[in-house]
Amino acid sequence: MTSPTSEPISSGNLQAGPADLFTVAERILRPFEKFAAIETSGGIVLFGGLLVALTLANSPWAAAYSSFWSTELGVRSQWIDLTRPLSFWINDGLMTIFFLVMGLEIKRELLAGQLASPRQAALPLVAALGGMVVPAALYLAANIGTATARG
């Protein structure tokens, strides 16, 4: 014989208490918590979003996808009009927050983290400079002598 708390919640078991609902919620959320604890999970989510965006932008639904990003979103009243396209809120709003958080993270690493010693900071610094110089050099090499060479 099983106890009432170990029975699964279904439409036939209407006497489920808060503890049962907590157990079910915990069972559902546990995989998401494990995924969020992995360092690379953010990159996996971004890569998945990239694949979805590329697929939608190059599919028969491309017009609907484009109009989604131009959907007006915001607050409008008698005194103010803060409605802008969704792409504006992403590009100017969320990206500002992203770069603020990244700047704070870099500052923390430089002051007290793994980049505090010049020896440990050398490789990431060279990689960051290369990440700026190499794309610029490739662009110039591909556009040298053209009207778009100034970028």
Domain boundaries, the chain: 18-69, 117-151
The pTM of this model reads 0.56
Collapsing DSSP to helix, strand or coil, 58 comes out as: coil
Share of the chain above pLDDT 70, in %: 87
Q: For position 16, what pLDDT does the model report?
A: 57
Ranges of beta strands (E only) in the chain are: 72-73, 84-85
What's the DSSP call for residue 117?
S
Express each pLDDT in 39-85 by its tens digit.
888 889 999 999 999 999 999 999 999 999 999 999 999 999 999 99
Task: Tokens for 85, please give them.
Answer: 């396209």
Express each pLDDT in 112-137 by its tens digit.
988 899 899 899 899 999 999 999 99
What is the band of 18 on the pLDDT scale with cuts at 50, 70, 90? low
Residues 18 and 9: beta-carbon distance below 8 Å: no
Residues 63 and 81: beta-carbon distance below 8 Å: no
Question: Cα torsion at 43, 45, 50, 53 (round to 10°)?
Answer: -170
The two most distant CA atoms of the chain are separated, in Å, by 84
